[in-house]
Amino acid sequence: MPTRTTTILSTVAILAILSVLFLVISAPQNRQTATTNTVSATETERTFTEGGLRVVTFTLYLWDYGYNASRGGPTLTVNVGDRVRINLVGNGSGPIVHDFVLDQNSPSPYNVRSDRLSRGQTQVIEFSANYPGTFTYYCSVAPPYGLSHRERGQEGTIIVLES
Q: Which is nearer to Cu ion, 88 or 160 (CB)?
A: 88
The alpha carbons of the chain give a radius of gyration, in whole angstroms, of 26
Q: Which is nearer to Cu ion, 98 or 119 (CB)?
A: 98
40, 50, 59, 159: which is closest to 100 by C-alpha? Answer: 59
Distance of CA 94 to the CA centre of its chain: 25
Q: How many Å apart are CA 23 and CA 18, to the nearest integer?
A: 9
Binding part of the chain for Cu ion, among 22-30, 51-59, 77-85, 133-141 by CB under 5 A, reads 133-141
Q: How many helices (H) and strands (E) does the chain have?
A: 1, 10
Give the per-residue contact string, 87-126, with Cu ion (x = CB under 5 A; - = no).
Answer: -----------x----------------------------
Binding part of the chain for Cu ion, among 5-13, 69-77, 80-88, 152-160 by CB under 5 A, reads 152-160
List interacting residues with Cu ion (CB under 5 A): 98, 139, 141, 149, 154
